[in-house]
Amino acid sequence: MRKNKKNKKNETANPFNPDYFSYKDDYPIDEVWNTNNVLAQLIVPRLLAFKELDKHGCPPDFDDMRKWNNTIQKMADAFELMKYVHTLSEEEEKTVTKGLNLFCKYYRNLWD
């Protein structure tokens, strides 16, 4: 946890106190305003790396690793479209909706 740089109070200050952190000073405001885009930029390379990983299994919904990897790719495609602020076409919106739904459904399965 990051402490407020301006808060030089007692080191044992309560981290649940809103004055303990300075979110305003910790992140560039454009990253805060566009949190969805920033998170998408972080998620895409990790999903792609996970897809390429020699995994030890897949969720029970899948009967082979190829189908699981295709699902991971659909998630990555959705976040790829969300990495930057822009207007999406109808087809892109469908891709994003499908990928985000899969991400929500399989979020707990993104580990090995």
The pLDDT averaged over each successive group of 10 residues in the chain (112 residues) is 47 57 69 91 98 96 97 98 94 98 98 93
Q: Which burial class, exposed, middle or buried, applies to 99 when counting CB atoms under 10 A from its CB (0-12, 13-18, 19+)?
A: buried
User: Has this prediction a pTM greater than 0.75?
Assistant: yes
Q: Which of 38, 33, 37, 43 is nearest to 72 (CA)?
A: 43
